[in-house]
């Protein structure tokens, strides 16, 4: 069994290690901005999902309890969806001060006991991202409009 020769070929030089670390640093610096954009996109999808989940829950409560439910957004002490019907509930939302949420044409949504509602569009803006959620008037279900940024 032959032993490996000792000396200059026994390992990596300091210069070679520095070159490798320099290349890794450049790759990390190039990928950091795209990672930030991915994280922003995931956070925005979470916000949109919170709105649609609160809407589905409000509709379900109206149908199950037999009492109309009114859903509105409150930013008094944090961010909450207020659901008023047979009882009043607060559901957490994930918007901050930079986010814009618009209910059109009114400031709230009213789910009737048969699951229907009036036509409502919710516009969510967070930075450059915008998403529309339309409420189907016959079923009362939220429909996220795709194709927005």
Give me the domain span that covers residue 116: 21-145
User: What is the H or E stretch that residue 100 is in?
Assistant: strand 100-104
Query: Coil, helix or strand for 96?
Result: coil
Confidence of residue 80 (pLDDT cuts 50, 70, 90): confident
First-last CA distance in the chain = 65
Q: The pTM is what?
A: 0.73
Q: How far apart are CA 71 and CA 76, in angstroms?
A: 15
Residue 95, SS3?
coil
CB 103 within 8 Å of CB 75:
no
Is 15 part of a structural domain of the chain?
no
The CATH number covering residue 44 comes to 3.55.40.10
pLDDT value for 131: 92
Would residue 5 count as lying in a domain? no
Is residue 3 predicted with pLDDT exceeding 60? no
The total number of structural domains in the chain stands at 1
Determine if the peptide bond prior to 21 is cis (ω within 30°): no
């Amino acid at each position: 069994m032959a032993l490996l020769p000792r000396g200059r070929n026994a390992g990596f030089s300091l210069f070679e290690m520095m070159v490798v670390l320099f290349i890794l640093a450049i790759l990390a610096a190039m990928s950091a901005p795209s990672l930030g954009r991915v994280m922003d996109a995931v956070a925005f999808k979470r916000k949109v999902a919170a709105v649609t989940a609160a809407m589905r829950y409000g509709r379900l409560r109206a149908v199950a309890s037999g009492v109309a439910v009114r859903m509105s957004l409150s930013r008094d002490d944090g961010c909450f969806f207020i659901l008023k019907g047979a009882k009043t509930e607060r559901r957490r939302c994930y918007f901050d001060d930079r986010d814009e949420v618009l209910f059109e044409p009114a400031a709230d949504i009213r789910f009737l006991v048969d699951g229907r509602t009036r036509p409502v569009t919710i516009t969510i803006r967070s930075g450059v991202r915008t998403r529309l959620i339309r409420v189907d008037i016959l079923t009362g279900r939220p429909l996220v409009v795709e194709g927005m940024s």
